[in-house]
Structure 1
Amino acid sequence: MTAYDAPVRHDDADLAALDGLIGHATVQGVPVLHAPRPGDVSAGLFFRVGRADETLSTSGVTHLVEHLALHRLGVSDVHYNGATANTYTHFHVTGDEDEVVTYLNDLCAALRDLPLDRLETEKEILRTESAGRANGPDSQMAMWRYGAQGYGLISYDELGTRSLTADQVQQWAETRFTRDNAVLWITSDHVPDGLDLTLPAGRRIPVPAASDALPVTPAYIRGDDGHVVFDSVLRRSTAAAVFAEVLGRALFRDLRQEGGYSYTAEAHYSPRDADFATLTAYADALPEKQDAVVGAFVDTLAGLRAGRIEQAELDSVRSKLLKRYDTPDLGAAKLPSDALSLLLGHGILSPEQHKAELEAVTVADLREIAREAWDGGLFQVPARGADWAGFTLAPQYSSSAVTGTRHLSLENDDVTLVIGAEGVSLLLPGGPVTVRYDACVAMTTRPDGARFLTGLDGFRVAVEPTLFRDVTAERIAVLDAAVPPAAVVPLGARDPERIPQPREREKQEASPAPQVGGDEARKAASPGLRRLPVWFVLLVLSEAVFGLGLVIAILQTSDSAHSAWMHLTRAILPAALAIAYTRRAYRYAKRDRG
């Protein structure tokens, strides 16, 4: 059996792997892992809850609990913080033993009694944090792979910070931040005295199953200039982690050292849940080098799939990974990762077991993983796509549209909004985009009537009454009655200047004429045009110029016939230009009237 096929160990085997290196105990029902390290004490309390457990309409609820709990701790000289990830929330602290015990005790007390009077303030803080957070080049990959649910929510704003109630936040804390859904690690040779981890009873929340929004892989999407990203989902294994290192080295060599196309070319392996991990590879590029980077990226992956991996390269990566076990205080260094593995239900390997798996990895294993990565890959490329390399464009449209009332766009005759009994569709030249009510995970609402619906698959339909014909209050009421109440996220009123208007109407806003909508707005924009058309005035002026030129030519005629024709020719040129301009003005005037 290769390391790639190694079975996953759980429960008693996990704790057995800790014996001799990491101690374990239970405090108030919470598993505690501990190992000594010189200097200050560090500790971390994990909970098995994160963004992937939320829905789009409640996204941010876990982050809110984290912020509210930390607020109770106030300002301190002790270094502490919290983090909310896809599958876990982690509170960590560093200080002397008494400071760490005080932090953990106060944290658990805060989780039992959240300061919900501060809820609206923390919502605003989270929205401010989100607005200032830079989106990475791979920020949209999760949405395209998973849709607007589970692991895909990391690509979306935390909509719950707009509408979550105190009862919802309290209920989330009581059912997710429990003693049965937690693991504590601490860098100490013993469990400190006075530790009070009292938390509500509950249950270990299973890691959410992954959704799939990609009907065909390998697939590609178009992204921003300057960034090329590839990701894939792999079975968790030591060999897969080794492959990520090999891929990162190959990309760096091919794209930077040899090709000179990229500054950054790298690959990373990160656990997603107990059984799967995400492989992410990235390279940057100047606009003029983007095609070359994409080509070299594909060639590198193809080479690894074909088995063009030197044994020396594998040995070098293996040696690097084995050196991690030469670190002092190995048990303390392993505490966070082992605690997280215990929380997620992934088998914990002892150093000897992991070394054995590293030694067992072969070039053939890496070739198989390269094929698996390619087969499930999602490629984000700028500009021209990647069909030529065997990738399929990720779905840009829904498979079908709903039937219902049709509302033509006021901006584009080729776009129609359909509001039906089963859902809404936007009919575009390339195909429909549909969100069905029973698959709607969030609908934001505005007092001006705007509704934005997002489906499980990540497709979104924007219903802006100002941009479509006859989207009346009655039609908006159909949406409000059909979408599940749990998916509705009310938003505040917009500044009138931020309410979108059709482009044609925007041009008329500078005019003092009244705005009545559609063709009527264009006809009312400048009443003088109907009394005396501009094209008529220009035509008269051009003819006058032409006549004046003839008169001047005749008056200046000398005895030479040649001189008369010369003056006539000089007059014809400006007249011809005037007539051409008049014809153009006539076409514009005719179009505005029609």
Structure 2
Amino acid sequence: MIKETEVDGVPTLIAPVSGQMHAGLVFRVGYADEVLARAGITHVVEHLALFRTGQADYHYNGRTGAATTEFHLRGSEQDVVAFLTGVCEALSALPFERLEVEKQVLRTEQAGKSPSPSEVLALWRYGARGFGLAGYPEYGVPNLTPDEIRHWVGTWFTRENAGLWIAGDGVPAGLRLPLPSGRRWAPPPVTSALPVTPAFFQAPMNGTAFDAVVPRGPAAMVYAEVLQRELFRELRQADGLSYTTAAGYTAHPHDTAIVTAIADALPEKQSAVLGGMVDALHTLAVGRIEQTEVDAVIAAAQGDLQHPDAAAASLSGLVTNLLTGRPIHSPEERTAQLGAVTLDEVRAVAAQALRTGLLLVPEDHTADWAGYAVAPITSETVVEGGAYPVIDDPNDRFVIGPAGVSRVIGDQAATVRYTECAAMLVWPDGGRQLVGHDGMRVAVEPTMIAADPGLLHHIGAGLPPHLVVRLPPRDPSTIPRPAPPTPDPPPEKRGGLLRRRKS
């Protein structure tokens, strides 16, 4: 039984739990609400809000997701009161004396991780905004100021934009949520950087990965598990090609969801694993799914929902639904929804997944043989403006105009228009890198271009300040320099200079 109430105007969901009480305060804001040049601001707020909690005798943490930020803990009723009230009080008076230290902590965290396959897929599918920011560094962290952070907190971390869940007997006595008033924000839009699907791109990975946009709902959840079983059966059990095979379902805060699949491989088995992934997706898409397979998946999922703590385990997701305008379903209702899923519905999701699919293939591999289009790594247009050659290559030039910048190599171009600029990175030596909403990058190095330094200094001068990232000095050895004179390489060997992202 899930009970709905409110605490200090914050909508609250409560469900009984067999073990220790746990609870979470969720705000409808995440990294998908940020812009690339200020990426990480929500994460900084999360860290600052938790700082004064320090070491505690109970387990607590924070999590910044795509569309929500959550502060949660497991402990006694007194712990819940102290933690949640303390988080709200901290949000109104963040410890900005700690700001530079937390920036360093986050930069260290960033340096110690590599993008997961799902994050790389997000970059290529959504571009350099919204849900695509999962695949980018938190560029904004070094430049954030207390005033910017205060404005962000005042905009997003408000009573109307929050939801509370409690796994326990009820609201603990004395719990207060002293949050300022604001408004409920709609979910971030779902963007696209893919002109056509299914599509593929290359990335340095020992294996392959896939994602697809499908209708949100129980049929898609069943499909994801059917796909997981197919990959495990064919790539792990039958042929021993992969150690890790996995597929999962992630709901968007709209009417769609993402199904993601991965399969790892030894270098010499990459082609076979790629073929096995393609075959598995095609097998399901043409309807070769057995009723017994669907029945087994549904029975397992319904069994999980029979657990006494199933309602409590679902509370965090249900509060997210509440904040994004989605219905709230009890375990009993979800059990009935799963039971109503038909074989034809699962087959329809499988066909949709293939039509909207994005495939990550290892370097030096392709998937055009399987009907996948090449995801764009170049731009279709070039800005109007003056042309300036690269010092060591007459086939390589920049076009700089009032609307933006293009780099043109032979008949290929990468263009970022100022009206579609997600971020401009600037170094003290004058180097600039512009990133477009579609993920295209143009790096302009004063050492490499035959143009007046004053002209280069004015590139992006009219961009709003919140789109500019000012970086510290670079190691001189990392600044590009003209190469010694050599014979021109064949044009086909130079296509890789235009990339949507650095490998």
Instruction: Look up the SS of the partner of 2:314 in the other structure.
Output: helix
Amino acid across the alignment from 1:438: T
Contact 1:437 1:484 (8 Å CA) reproduced: no
Q: Distance in 1 between matches of 2:274 and 2:96?
A: 50
- SS in structure 2 at match of 1:195: coil
Q: 2:38 and 2:460 mapped to 1: Cα distance?
A: 18
1:155 aligns with 2:173: no
**In structure 2, what is the Cα distance between the partners aligned to 1:430 and 1:294?**
31
Q: Which amino acid counterpart does residue 331 of structure 1 have in structure 2?
A: A
What's 2:375 paired with?
394
**1:333 CA displacement:** 2.3
Q: Which of 306, 312, 323 does residue 332 from structure 1 map onto? A: 312
Task: Return the alpha-carbon distance in structure 1 between the equivalents of residues 107 and 95 of structure 2.
Answer: 19
Write out aligned runs for 1:258-407 (5 A): 258-382=238-362, 383-407=364-388
Match of 1:10 in 2: none
> CA deviation digits over 1:231-261, x for unaligned, max 9?
0111111010000000110111111211222
> What CA deviation, in whole Å up to 9, does each residue of 1:426-481 have, x standing for no partner?
002351100111211211111111011111111010001112223x3211233142
2:146 is aligned to 166
Deviations 1:210-235 (A, max 9, x none): 11110001111012241201101111
Corresponding residue for residue 162 of structure 2: 182
Task: Tell me if 1:141 matches 2:141.
Answer: no
Higher relative contact order (CA 8 A, sep 6+): 2
Structure 2 equivalent of residue 108 of structure 1: 88
Out of 70, 75, 95, the residue aligned to residue 95 of structure 1 is 75
Write 1 or 2 for the structure with the bigger share of helix. Answer: 1
Separation of aligned partners in 1, 2:345 and 2:101: 52
Could you say which residue in structure 1 is the equivalent of 2:191? 211
Equivalence for 2:61? 81
Partner of 2:379, secondary structure, is coil
Q: Which residue pairs with 1:26 in the alignment?
A: 6
TM alignment of 1:7-26, pairs within 5 A: 21-26=1-6
Question: Which residue identity lines up with residue 147 of structure 1 in the other structure?
Answer: G
CA distance in 2, matches of 1:433, 1:480: 16
Give the ranges of 4+ consecutive aligned residues of structure 1 lying more than 4 Å apart after TM superposition.
none
> More strand per residue: 1 or 2?
2
Q: CA deviation at 1:133?
A: 1.7
CA contact (8 A) 2:242 2:265 kept: yes
CA distance, structure 2, for counterparts of residue 322 and residue 215 of structure 1? 38
In 2: Cα distance, 1:125 partner to 1:57 partner? 19
Percentage of matched positions with identical amino acids: 48
- In structure 2, runs of 5+ residues without a counterpart are 487-503
Contact 1:247/1:267 (<8 A) preserved: yes
- More divergent stretch after superposition (88-97 vs 111-120): 111-120
Q: Per the alignment, do residues 49 and 299 of structure 1 end up closer, same or farther by CA in structure 2, a change over 3 Å counting?
A: same
Structure 1 letter corresponding to 2:387: R
| CA deviation after TM superposition for structure 1 residue 190, in Å | 1.6
Q: Which residue is equivalent to 1:36?
A: 16
Kindly provide the CA deviation profile for residues 95-116 of structure 1, in whole angstroms up to 9, marking residues without a partner as x: 1111111111111100111112
CA contact (8 A) 2:218 2:337 kept: yes
Counterpart amino acid of 1:144? W
CA distance, structure 2, for counterparts of residue 164 and residue 473 of structure 1: 28
**3-state SS of 2:383 partner:** coil
2:455 to 470, 475, 490: 475
Aligned amino acid, residue 29 of structure 1: G
1:56-67 equivalent positions in 2, closer than 5 A: 56-67=36-47
Partner of 2:430: 449
Partner of 1:433: 414
1:362 is displaced (CA, Å) by 1.8
Q: Distance in 1 between matches of 2:332 and 2:310?
A: 12
1:424 matched residue in structure 2: 405
* Structure 1 stretch displaced more, 276-285 or 496-505: 496-505
Give the letter aligned to residue 140 of structure 2.
Answer: G
2:102 corresponds to 1:122: yes
Q: TM-score, normalised by structure 1?
A: 0.79
SS at match of 1:415: strand
1:492 is matched with which residue?
A: 472
CA contact (8 A) 2:433 2:443 kept: yes
Q: Output the CA distance in 2 between the equivalents of 1:71 and 1:202.
A: 24
Q: How many Å apart are 1:156 and its aligned residue?
A: 0.7
Post-superposition CA distance 1:135-176 (Å, at most 9, x none): 223331111111111111111111111211111100100110
Please tell me whether the aligned partners of residues 18 and 308 of structure 2 are also in contact (alpha carbons under 8 angstroms). no
Once the two structures are superposed, residues 513-537 of structure 1 have per-residue CA deviations (whole angstroms, 9 ceiling, x without a partner) of: xxxxxxxxxxxxxxxxxxxxxxxxx
Say whether 1:408 aligns with 2:394.
no
* RMSD between superposed Cα atoms in Å: 1.5
Distance, in Å, in 1 between the alignment partners of 2:236 and 2:309 is 36
Cα distance in 2 for residues equivalent to 1:110 and 1:324: 37
Equivalent-residue separation in structure 1 for 2:458 and 2:305 (angstroms): 62
Q: Which amino acid aligns with 2:360?
A: Q
Aligned residue type for 2:57: D
Q: Does the 8 Å contact 1:275/1:346 carry over to 2?
A: no
Tell me the distance in 2 between the aligned counterparts of 1:424 and 1:152.
Answer: 22
Query: Quick check: 1:150–1:208 contact (8 Å CA) kept in 2?
Result: yes
Corresponding pairs, count = 485
1:418 to 1:298, Cα distance in 2 relative to 1, 3 A: same
TM-score (norm 2): 0.93
Counterpart of 1:131 (choices 104, 111, 123) is 111
**Bigger Rg over Cα:** 1
Letter in 2 for 1:437: Y
| Separation in 2, partners of 1:375, 1:308 | 16
Which amino acid in the other structure matches residue 212 of structure 1? S
